[in-house]
Amino acid sequence: MGTSAIAPIERRALHEDLADQLRRAIVHGELKPGEKISEKILCEQFGVSRTPVREALKILSTEGLVQLMQNRGASVTEVTLEDMQHAFPVMGALEALAGELACQNASDAQIERAAVLQARMIAMFQKGDRKGYFRVNEEVHQLILEASGNTALPRLLRTVSGQVRRARYMANLSRERWAEAIAEHEEILAALAARDGKRLSRLLKAHLANKLSALAKAFAQTKPKI
């Protein structure tokens, strides 16, 4: 076999892996809103130099998850209802487009995978495993995004998804809202299986709008904590 037939091996940059781990910690509330982020501690924790840590923090800053302050280091961005009211409609529009395209381009295997994930979400709900549910929920939305076949959408979504993912996690605090979200995902799966793009588009927009409504109620009662 000639060397021209060998594809290059793709390796993720270290700072991207760090950004993934820090993003997860912020979304899941392991790093709290307003909490200071120590570069020194992160370097020691991950066994890396300051350069990849700083690059990772820059990525999270562009996503609105981290605030970088000159001469004062970094901290986790506070969650505000106003930010969510701006971000959710954008996220809803992009996910709606992804859903419409997914109905055109998804493989049968991807649709079958969506059904498997839906069953797992129901199981997590029944067990009361909120973190497990949220993880599988993310897989569902990522599957729809990948099934769209549009390579520009992931880049666009990344700029608003961080804050929305945090809010999604917060909005499921209520058992009632959680049950409603499960029912909404049943409809989303049915629309995808039927390859009904217009219906799936509407459902995804409504799903995000309902989460924003739940979040607004949580803010009205008391400032939510991730």
Q: Is 75 helix (H, G, I), strand (E, B) or coil?
A: strand
Cα→Cα distances 156→117, 144, 152, 209, Å: 25, 15, 6, 19
Give yes or no: residues 94 and 192 share one domain.
yes
Domain count, the chain: 2
Residue 76, beta-bridge partner list: 66
Question: Residue 109: its pLDDT value, please?
Answer: 97
In a 10 Å sphere around its CB, with 0-12 CB exposed, 13-18 middle and 19+ buried, how is residue 203 labelled?
buried
In a domain, 2, yes or no: no
Give yes or no: residues 48 and 97 share one domain.
no
Give yes or no: residues 150 and 90 share one domain.
yes
Provide the domain limits for residue 206. 81-221
Q: What is the pLDDT along the chain (226 residues), one digit of tens a residue?
A: 444 444 443 446 888 889 889 988 888 778 888 899 989 999 998 899 999 999 999 989 988 889 998 877 899 988 888 888 888 999 999 999 999 999 999 999 999 999 999 999 999 999 999 889 988 998 999 999 999 999 999 888 887 877 787 877 766 567 888 899 999 999 999 999 999 999 999 999 999 999 888 888 877 765 544 4
The last residue of one of the domains, among 76, 106, 128, is 76
* Sheet with 73-76, edge to edge strand ranges: 36-37, 73-76, 66-69
Q: Are 145 and 98 in contact (CB under 8 A)?
A: yes
The last residue of one of the domains, among 49, 76, 103, is 76
Give yes or no: residues 109 and 70 share one domain.
no
The last residue of one of the domains, among 76, 98, 117, is 76
Q: How far apart are CA 34 and CA 25, in angstroms?
A: 14
* Residue 214 C-beta-side C-alpha neighbours within 13 Å: 22
- Structure-token match 């982020």, residue found: 37
Give yes or no: residues 65 and 85 share one domain.
no
Question: Residue 143: its pLDDT value, please?
Answer: 96
In a domain, 109, yes or no: yes
In a domain, 146, yes or no: yes
Give yes or no: residues 112 and 202 share one domain.
yes
- Tokens for 27, please give them: 């979304």
Give yes or no: residues 106 and 207 share one domain.
yes
Q: How far apart are CA 134 and CA 132, in angstroms?
A: 5
Cα→Cα distances 61→57, 77, 110, Å: 6, 9, 33
Give yes or no: residues 149 and 208 share one domain.
yes
Give yes or no: residues 128 and 197 share one domain.
yes
